[in-house]
Amino acid sequence: MKNTDFTKLTTKEASIMRILWESDKPLAVSEICEMDSDGSLNINSAQMAVKKLLEKKMVKVHSIIQMGKVFGRLYVPTMSAESYAIRMFKDFFERYTNRSVDKVIFTLLEQEENRDDIIDDLERALMKYKEKKETLG
């Protein structure tokens, strides 16, 4: 599978990923459908979407448990929502721009109303990263 396939999620796949990312436990497809706030997922479409997410390696089977008289699979995401967002950004950035990261950050800051808050957040994040890097050697 090419890296560009990685970022292409359908609306249903994205809904399932959001539910899995927000959950603190592995979920069965039936539980995912129950947690769907807009009611767009039925069991059949959710099963098909989860099958595609397995192929894209976005989810994995955590365990198989007995659910009533049948066995069911519990699913978990293979990465965090933040990691996925970074992968999407990097993919877009590499495909559509030849700009440096600092220019992208400047452009983003120009679009935001709360620039000072964002700058403070960026400075804190950089300090944490530097501290972590120093402790790892």
Query: What are the structural domain ranges in the chain?
Result: 3-77, 99-137
**H or E stretch at 73:** strand 70-77
Alpha-carbon gap, residue 74 to 93, rounded angstroms: 34
Dump pLDDT digits (tens) for 71-93.
999 999 999 999 998 888 888 77
Determine the topology of domain 3-77 in CATH.
Arc Repressor Mutant, subunit A (1.10.10)
pLDDT tens per residue across span 16-36: 999 999 999 999 999 999 999
Q: What is the pLDDT of residue 6?
A: 53
State how far the Cα of 23 lies from the Cα of 26, in Å rounded to an integer. 7
